[in-house]
Structure 1
């Protein structure tokens, strides 16, 4: 697995500063966020960021958009896709609506599904995959709902992302990750308490070591472990967490 960063971890830093922190941390892959660093529609910023990433030897593995299927104006995705292509991102991260699986009406679920299929087909024409964030208050807030969504869309260009929900225990985490393979290629890696306080990554060893071990041992795809949400948004915390992540991936 390749180690990297979700750039929104450091919204307070510019692109060059983010890349500098990544260099210090020894991280080689990045998901650039669309809210601050590479805004949707700003093709010039995307091209500048692509060049800066290449100059630092950092591989762009995703464009982190905030497009919500079934909720945003369908035309909004055009800017997202255009920006991702200019950035050279192989996949775009999106959100599955804005209603949780327990609250979504059949009509809402159908809108999300239809739009997700549409943008996956559209992105595929440019060789770009769609990756769905597993996130609360969306249709991927439970494993069963996420699997039903992926089955309904039924498109090879659709990929699940994975991150642990608050309070998820290690056994549940393993069940989710195993169920999402082989399509799962990226995990957002962080450690939080059940009430949302950020901790050093090492405090989540009981969850992350088996999860990352399972992903690492799969030889059927290149996969990425992207650090996110470090305590206090502190670059020094990223450097520390990157050491932990590499140790786990080395099996030490």
Structure 2
């Protein structure tokens, strides 16, 4: 499935985001939990889910901002995801200030993650970690450690390239987290987090698709250059072309 993260357009309404995804010919939307579908509003979540499906799109996931080791309650997030009709909940792997691993913090995060996954499993939902700097998924070594320690059957991780490391290192990291991969967050950044048109990333993303093979369920566009609706349309066309071309050359879904 090809989709859009709603947080790419935080300044637009849910109706406008749906219209953008529809116009771009995408399959669905990952709805963010900060602006468009806050966890405390179940009724609103249900309405957004209904609007999405009535437009012929799928709710691909609930992009929550629940963060491990913060002492927050997961139940509101879970209820919002159910109301939205999302099959998967995205959560964040704590907060760290450096890339080295604190064993005690890792154990705390893994224990909480195991409990979160059990709650989600009870509702028939999957859990997927945001793969992000300044968290326990900063690099694949700590990400894999957390995933293994939690050991839940419904636990997965997103993946996105880290602009601070080399392409070879990104490829290695993707290969290492592959057993847990759920989806790509797709964008093209240069070092310094400079957003670029997606078409400039064809060579690197060809490698990522090849490594992922059939493990990847979704590719979700994010971080559109200039937060531009026109750039989204262009990037979506590129993404659709990649899906077709990479499949023919063996870098399939």
Q: TM-score range by the shorter chain?
A: over 0.9
- For the residues of structure 2 that align with 1:211 and 1:46, how far apart are their CA atoms? 33
- Asked whether the equivalents of residues 130 and 157 of structure 1 are also in contact (C-alpha less than 8 Å), the reply is yes
Residue by residue over 1:128-184, the C-alpha shift from the partner in whole angstroms, topping out at 9 and shown as x without a partner, is: 111001111111101111011111111111001101112333322222222222431
Q: Which residue of 2 aligns with 1:246?
A: 240
CA-atom RMSD, angstroms?
1.5
- Asked whether the equivalents of residues 99 and 138 of structure 2 are also in contact (C-alpha less than 8 Å), the reply is no
Q: Which residue of 2 aligns with 1:50?
A: 49
Distance 1:203 1:72, change over 3 A: farther
**Counterparts of residues 94-173 of structure 1 (less than 5 Å):** 94-100=91-97, 102-103=99-100, 105-173=102-170
**Counterparts of residues 1-252 of structure 1 (less than 5 Å):** 2-73=1-72, 76-100=73-97, 102-103=99-100, 105-215=102-212, 217-218=213-214, 223-251=217-245
Q: Which residue of 1 aligns with 2:251?
A: none
**Which runs of 4 or more aligned residues in structure 1 lie more than 6 Å from their structure 2 counterparts after TM superposition?**
none
SS of 2:158's equivalent in the other structure is strand
SS of 2:245's equivalent in the other structure is coil
1:49 positional shift? 0.4
- For the residues of structure 2 that align with 1:227 and 1:250, how far apart are their CA atoms? 16
Length-normalised TM-score, structure 2: 0.93
Bigger RCO of structures 1 and 2 (CA < 8 A, at least 6 apart): 1
SS of 1:159's equivalent in the other structure is strand
SS of 2:184's equivalent in the other structure is strand
SS of 1:229's equivalent in the other structure is coil
1:70 positional shift? 1.3
Unaligned runs of 5+ in 1: none
Report how many residues are paired: 246
- For the residues of structure 2 that align with 1:227 and 1:100, how far apart are their CA atoms? 27
1:100 positional shift? 4.7
- For the residues of structure 1 that align with 2:179 and 2:60, how far apart are their CA atoms? 18
Unaligned runs of 5+ in 2: 247-253
Distance 1:142 1:222, change over 3 A: closer
- Asked whether the equivalents of residues 101 and 140 of structure 1 are also in contact (C-alpha less than 8 Å), the reply is no
- For the residues of structure 2 that align with 1:251 and 1:238, how far apart are their CA atoms? 20
